[in-house]
Structure formats: structure tokens, C-alpha cells
Amino acid sequence: MPRYLTESQKPILAVLSEDGGFTTNRVAVMARGNANLRHKSQMVRRELLELKRLGLVRELDDQKPVAWCRTYAGTVSLAQGIVTGGEDPQGLREAEGRVEPGPEGMRHESPGEGT
């Protein structure tokens, strides 16, 4: 029997993309609004850690604060509404390269030189 995404996980996955990351605080604002931001950030962090355990999100890099991005499995799960396991079998979505700052606190992965 498939495990369905919860109503609290869907907006979090919808906010994230595969090629750029947002901090936990920014995800909380975008997915839940500004009211009681500290409480919402804590709730979103718990959800992000669970989604990471399921392989649907990952930390973009080792910088602090942590920036989160969606994995290929997370994109598939969001589209289907169920938790899908496993990685992209062909490695089509594997992120390589350096991380650069982006707009509004978003960090992007960019291809390395020669690509």
C-alpha cells in the first residue's frame, strides 16, 4: 500500500525546486505565511527532516543556514501525491557544480566549468 504525502508535506515540496535551495525560514514563509514564524519554522524543519529521511529533499550544501532543495524522487512524489522511493536511476538530476547566491536568499547550483 502506498504512503501518501501529508497535507503539510505537499506545500513544502511545492515551494522547493531541484536546482536551487531555500532556508528553512524562507520555506516556512512561502509554504505557511508570516504569522507566528518561529513556530512555523519549527514545524517545517520537522517536516523537512522527515522528507530528507524519505529521500524527497536534501540539503543543498554544507553552508549554514541550511538550504533545502527537492530531489528527483521528491518531484515525482509531488506529481503523484505518494512517496516514491529510490534515486533517479540514470542520474539525470544529480547536482554537480558550485553553489552561487540567488535572489531572495535562494542558492543555486551551477554547472562547473567546461559544461
The count of structural domains within the chain is: 1
**Rounded to whole angstroms, what are the CA distances from 5 to 11, 27, 50, 51, 58?**
10, 17, 11, 10, 17
Rounded CA-CA distance 78/62 in Å is: 25
| Boundaries of domain holding 63 | 9-109
Rounded CA-CA distance 64/44 in Å is: 17
Domain contains 115: no
pLDDT of residue 89: 39
Rounded CA-CA distance 34/38 in Å is: 9
Domain contains 57: yes
pLDDT of residue 10: 92
- 13: phi then psi, degrees, rounded to nearest 5: -65, -35
pLDDT of residue 112: 46
Q: What is the CATH number of the domain that holds 63?
A: 1.10.10
Domain contains 4: no
Q: Are 35 and 43 in contact (CB under 8 A)?
A: no
pLDDT of residue 106: 55
Rounded CA-CA distance 17/20 in Å is: 6
Domain contains 68: yes
Domain contains 1: no
| pLDDT per residue as tens, the chain (115 positions) | 678 899 999 999 999 988 888 999 899 888 877 678 888 889 999 999 999 999 999 998 888 888 999 999 999 999 998 887 654 433 434 443 334 444 455 555 544 444 4
pLDDT of residue 61: 85
Domain contains 26: yes
Domain contains 114: no
Choose among 99, 35, 40: nearest CA to 69: 99
Domain contains 74: yes
pLDDT of residue 48: 95
**Geometric angle at alpha carbon 47, from 13 and 24, rounded to 5°:** 75
